[in-house]
Amino acid sequence: MTQTSNDESRHPFLKGLSKHRGAPPTVVVIFGASGDLTARKLIPAIFNLGVDNLLPGDFHLIGYGRKPIPDEEFRSLMDEAIKQHSRRPLSQEIWERVRQHVSYHAGGYDDAEAFASLAAKIDGIEQDLGREVQRLFYVSTPPSVFSAIVSNLGASGMAKAHQHTKFASKVIIEKPFGHDLESARELNAAIKNVFEESQVYRIDHYLGKETVQDLLVQRFANSIFEPIWNREYVDCVQITVAESLGVGSRGGYYDTSGALRDMIQNHTMQLVALTAMEPPVSLDPESIRDEKVKVLKGIQPLSLDSDGGDVVRARYESGMINGEPVKGYMEEEGIPEDSTTESYAALRLSINNWRWKGVPFYIRSGKRMARRASEIAIQFRRPPGILFSEGNKFDVAANTMVISIQPDEGVTLVMNSKIPGLETRTQPVKMHFRYATTFGSNTPEAYERLILDAMIGDSTLFIRGDETEASWKLITPILEHWQQSGEAGMAGYAAGSWGPRAAERLLADNGHEWRRSG
């Protein structure tokens, strides 16, 4: 009781803090603190948690990077990050209470002495506070240094600090988590040598999006959906993660990745798992993650035959976006002349379990597509053509539930209705639910939810080690096949379109068509 009072006297913005979301005293260390993600997402997220009274009373932030930066200069950089990227304007009163506990620590990621001095710095914070604090390490660096950081966190003793208490250290690791199955296993092994699985938070920001979280509520809190969420009623599932942007200035980096690694192995496969999973026994994080892993393990190996297989890859060619001409992928800056990297990938998945046997899951992701759109579309079976099948008189569409993840979060239900008039004619209509309309437009950013969850130890929206390996096990054979094939089987599509014609075959084999998202 006394400690709570002390916290609130030091930080008045903590009053009214929801106790069940309360985080213990915490020191957050961001590795890669001078990077783009820190400025665009992490610092604005921390600021907004402060605005919402969700930071602990004793909260310290340490930026870590190779480049030496004076503390006050680093704080000024964080000020600008909030002004430019926060969903709320900078409040000097609120931010100053955090800002005075922001500092910077310079050192290499393989520099044992720098990690030892970082550990001493955090120990000094504990001594000044007269209490223990949890250490939350956010690894926002290129994957090439993940292992070095994890190893030094172990060697310095910081990984084991206050282990098996509420102040136990935690580590958040950004994607990409490996580049194939072997590298993912190696990284998991390196982490396991230092941290227990309960301390590890593999982040996928898609899981922090409101609509993705709402998917479980739509399924399991509404009795009208779950009874028909199966092979008896669902004809197919389509998941689209489309971008209208090209590779831009990231051409050199993107060409080492491609659409399959960049979007499908992580974001899109997570959407598949959440859509297809069985009801968990509880909302306990492990119960939910257990069911996701079962789905990923139940996906059948894909046919890689270029003529009739389950996979299509393509690159965007020159075209028009918003009325403006744009370059093709091979003309972008930083793309090598001999590139065989795809900017679009589409897969046809089959899940071998009782619920989904025979129901195809079509997933696609690409750059320079017609518009930015991320959605999950559950297409139900058409009604038997008995009553409303006479010529062109009746326009009857398949009932479809569309969960829009971005840019306009919400749910749309496509159903059939009679057109007003003296003659019986039908037409598909849409029933819309939009988050912005119902709840307001100032929705928390995904990183706000995920950073808070990591601080309080809720791993529900993070990826477990066996989960990422199950996903890579499905994807790696495709990558190996493409590497061996070179340019063979690479299709093209005009920028501003919905992808290559070759991808239409994946659906046409079963009498389906891609949705025109939006």
For the stretch 354-385, pLDDT in tens is: 999 999 999 999 999 999 999 999 999 987 76
> Which of 217-226, 278-287, 424-433 has the lowest average pLDDT?
424-433
In the numeric block, the tokens 């982490």 are attached to: 191
Q: Which residues contact 223 (CB under 8 A, 6 or more apart)?
A: none
Confidence of residue 438 (pLDDT cuts 50, 70, 90): confident
Q: Which residues contact 306 (CB under 8 A, 6 or more apart)?
A: 485, 488, 489
DSSP secondary structure letter of residue 499: -
> Which of 17-21, 79-83, 149-153, 509-513 has the lowest average pLDDT?
17-21
Q: What is the pLDDT of residue 434?
A: 84
- When pLDDT is averaged across residues 432-454 and rounded to a whole number, the result is 85
Q: What is the pLDDT of residue 307?
A: 75
More confident residue, 397 or 331: 331
Candidates 63, 51, 59, 54; CA nearest to 100 is 59
DSSP secondary structure letter of residue 244: S
- When pLDDT is averaged across residues 171-182 and rounded to a whole number, the result is 92
Asked if residues 343 and 258 have their Cβ atoms less than 8 Å apart, the reply is: yes
Candidates 165, 147, 153, 151; CA nearest to 118 is 153
- Residue 61 sits at φ, ψ, to 5 deg, of -125, 125
Residues of the chain with pLDDT > 70: what percent? 93
Q: What is the pLDDT of residue 79?
A: 96
> What Å distances lie between residue 299 and 154, 254, 311, CA to CA?
36, 27, 14
Q: What is the pLDDT of residue 22?
A: 75
E strand or H helix at 199, and its extent?
Answer: none
* pLDDT tops 80 at residue 259: yes
> What Å distances lie between residue 346 and 241, 275, 369, CA to CA?
10, 18, 13
Q: Is 267 in the active site? A: yes
Residue 297 exposure: Cα atoms within 13 Å on the Cβ side: 9
State the average pLDDT for the chain: 90
- When pLDDT is averaged across residues 232-244 and rounded to a whole number, the result is 96
Fold classified for 207-382+463-508: Dihydrodipicolinate Reductase; domain 2 (3.30.360)
Cα 378 to Cα 230: distance, rounded to the nearest angstrom: 10
Q: Which residues contact 426 (CB under 8 A, 6 or more apart)?
A: 388, 394, 395, 396, 416, 417, 418, 419
Q: What is the pLDDT of residue 387?
A: 62
Q: What is the pLDDT of residue 255?
A: 93
pLDDT tens-digit readout, 5-43: 344 433 333 333 333 357 899 999 999 999 999 999 999
pLDDT tens-digit readout, 35-81: 999 999 999 999 999 999 999 999 999 999 999 999 999 999 999 99
Cα 354 to Cα 346: distance, rounded to the nearest angstrom: 25
Q: What is the pLDDT of residue 8?
A: 40
The two three-digit tokens of residue 200, written as one number: 């590890």
- Residue 242 sits at φ, ψ, to 5 deg, of -110, 145
- When pLDDT is averaged across residues 278-290 and rounded to a whole number, the result is 93
- When pLDDT is averaged across residues 424-432 and rounded to a whole number, the result is 81
Measured at the CA of 405, the angle between CA 404 and CA 408, to 5 degrees, comes to 70
Of the candidates 60, 105, 205, 267, the residue annotated as catalytic is 267
Candidates 305, 245, 303, 298; CA nearest to 269 is 298
The two three-digit tokens of residue 64, written as one number: 């870590």
For the residues of 260-277, what is the DSSP string, one character each?
Answer: IIIIIIIIIHHHHHHHHP
* pLDDT tops 90 at residue 501: yes
pLDDT tens-digit readout, 454-466: 999 999 999 999 9
Residues of the chain with pLDDT > 90: what percent? 75
Confidence of residue 419 (pLDDT cuts 50, 70, 90): confident
Cα 193 to Cα 154: distance, rounded to the nearest angstrom: 8
- State the CB neighbour count (10 A cutoff) for residue 54: 23
487 by DSSP, 3-state: which? coil
Cα 257 to Cα 263: distance, rounded to the nearest angstrom: 10
Q: What is the pLDDT of residue 30?
A: 97
Q: What is the pLDDT of residue 425?
A: 74
* pLDDT tops 80 at residue 254: yes
Is 207-382+463-508 the same fold as 2-174? no
CATH of domain 2-174: 3.40.50.720
Confidence of residue 288 (pLDDT cuts 50, 70, 90): very high
* pLDDT tops 80 at residue 2: no
pLDDT tens-digit readout, 318-357: 999 888 999 999 999 999 999 999 999 999 999 999 999 9
Domain ranges of the chain: 2-174, 207-382+463-508
196 by DSSP, 3-state: which? coil
Confidence of residue 391 (pLDDT cuts 50, 70, 90): low
Q: What is the pLDDT of residue 13?
A: 36
Confidence of residue 389 (pLDDT cuts 50, 70, 90): low
> Which of 176-180, 374-378, 437-441 has the lowest average pLDDT?
437-441
* pLDDT tops 50 at residue 266: yes
